[in-house]
DNA sequence: CTTGTGTGGTTGCATCATAAAACCAAATGG
DNA sequence: CCATTTGGTTTTATGATGCAACCACACAAG
């Protein structure tokens, strides 16, 4: 198999995520979708990508349950691509990517937009990792444990 | 230019991040590096990837300032690849990817590990987006603003 | 009903990136 | 000093990407 290696069977959740949205375009398509883009041509205009790979990506995202096709919304006979809950769940990933660029990009002056909260218009806080009890965690404060085998009818 | 389109000049910070680490392997290499992997062969063993593309990815990550080569650490004459602060700054991205998989994966039972805090051994909390004043934000609570032109000697 | 136009794709190449395996040189190890 | 490990590069085959051309359908005008 000389195919581009698939991570779908990998046990690491990061690899599994990358299998669904680790290519060059998927996250940008999702970004547009989060901003309300729904139509094929609209994606194509905003992203400036080739139509064939847009079609391929949309199909892949639909297959992965990130987008779904809806019959219409403005009455036209065409279909739309809308995010599923799983798709909307990628939002923190996009925010993390954005914040990483904002913090570490070599040419931050080229960054055109900042993410603010709608109510106050102020930048959102950096994502932070917290323990279950709320303590702020650094990478070094964390470790990996094997996933516990899920008991049927476990406590609670 | 038929080359794989580069997002380096794009004004969107998400695209800029993807330009550095949006390929199939970079984030997995960084994941290993965050767990202390430093040597070429060690990356190659853990990730099971072809050596040529590992070499290419390592070079790219060094070029992007995510890894840097250090002369040694155990006295041997070989070199090591260690994360820069910029590289360690990708941690929230990896956590977001991991949590997305944990929450939405179709076969969560195949996920082998969970991320816990070292002290209590309990899973880390989901990343949450908060406003500057601490209010919890949903995607719909946010919007994009054009980046303010940075004044030299601006107020504070 | 025929022609035109926009939307939403698919199909053909040309080129690039990726993957596997072979090869290779320097550093260690005995 | 000879063998093996480490850390790669080269070679070659194949898949993915990008662009342009083509095409089918919906819808509207004449």
Which pLDDT does position A155 carry in this prediction? 45
* Residues B118 and B99 placed together within one structural domain of the fold: yes
The CATH number of whichever domain residue A45 belongs to comes to 1.10.10.10
List all residues of chain A from 47 to 86 with a beta carbon under 8 Å from chain B.
Answer: 49, 65, 85-86
The model's pLDDT over B61-100, given as tens digits with 9 standing for 90+, comes to: 999 999 999 988 787 889 999 999 999 999 999 999 999 9
Structural domain total, chain B: 2
Q: Which nucleotide is nearest to A60 (CA to C1')?
A: D16
Q: Which nucleotides of D are covered by protein (CB under 7 A)?
A: 6-11, 13-21, 25-27
Could you report the predicted ipTM of this complex, rounded to two decimals?
A: 0.91
Given a cut of 60, whether residue A26 has pLDDT beyond it is yes
* Residues A30 and A56 placed together within one structural domain of the fold: yes
Cα dihedral sign, A53-A59-A62-A63: negative
Question: Which residue in B has a C-alpha nearest to residue A144's C-alpha?
Answer: B115
Which residues in chain B are closer than 8 Å to A88, comparing Cβ atoms? 139
CB contact under 8 Å between A142 and B16, yes or no, is: no
* Residues B22 and B47 placed together within one structural domain of the fold: yes
Backbone angles phi, psi at B122, to 5 degrees: -100, 150
Those residues with Cβ within 8 angstroms of residue A7's Cβ, 6 or more apart along the chain or in another chain:
A15, A16, A18, A19, A22, B24
**Which range of residues forms the domain containing residue A115?**
91-129
């Amino acid at each position: 198999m000389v195919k581009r290696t698939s991570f779908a069977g990998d046990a690491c959740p990061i690899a599994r995520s990358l299998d669904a949205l680790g290519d060059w375009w998927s996250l940008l398509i999702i970004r547009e979708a989060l901003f309300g883009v729904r139509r094929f041509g609209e994606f194509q205009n905003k992203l400036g990508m080739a139509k064939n790979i847009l079609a391929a990506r949309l199909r892949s995202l639909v297959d992965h349950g990130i987008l779904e096709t809806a019959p219409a919304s403005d009455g036209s006979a065409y279909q739309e691509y809308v995010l599923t809950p799983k798709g909307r769940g990628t939002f923190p990933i996009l925010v993390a990517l954005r914040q990483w660029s904002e913090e570490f990009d070599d040419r931050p002056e080229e960054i055109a937009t900042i993410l603010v909260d709608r109510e106050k218009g102020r930048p959102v806080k950096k994502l932070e990792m917290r323990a279950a009890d709320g303590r702020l965690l650094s990478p070094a404060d964390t470790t990996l444990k094997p996933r516990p085998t899920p008991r049927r009818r476990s406590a609670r």
